[in-house]
Copies of this chain bind each other. A is one copy, B any other.
């Protein structure tokens, strides 16, 4: 299983978790902690009843953005292994749009890397969410993508609780 993927297929968080755990277990101190994040499609958003979502990606750039996030995470938390899969196409309520898994010797790094990754995905990965709700549809407003914005990166790090 690749660590980074943009795919129309149903996502598997446990498969990705097993993959990062296996890689981390062969590294320095071994694998003592695996964290995962899954983002699911909610039935309600901003007071509207959501019917389904459609995600679109600029795949080659998205994979490079994943690689940048991995490099940033490795710089901040050496030794952690990170995997991220983002789904595209039509998603029903309750389905996962993204799964992230991080493995490390110790839990602080595994939590920080996983949280950092989702924050950065929302900042710089070229994926767009189109919401189909009762009575209409709309592209969801997001973040202006700037991969070299140091402030955004620091904000993601702060949310990852880098100091703990």
Contact = CB atoms under 8 A, between A and B. Distances in A.
Interface string A81-112: 00000000000001000000000010110110
Contact of A42 (B13, B32, B164): B32
A44 B105 CA distance: 10
A6 interface: no
Main secondary structure of the interface of A (DSSP, over half): mixed
A12 to B, nearest CB: 9
30 contacts: A13-B14, A13-B17, A13-B36, A14-B14, A21-B38, A25-B40, A29-B42, A29-B44, A30-B44, A31-B40, A31-B42, A33-B37, A33-B39, A33-B40, A34-B37, A34-B40, A35-B35, A35-B37, A35-B114, A36-B36, A37-B107, A39-B107, A42-B105, A107-B115, A107-B118, A111-B111, A111-B115, A115-B161, A158-B164, A160-B161
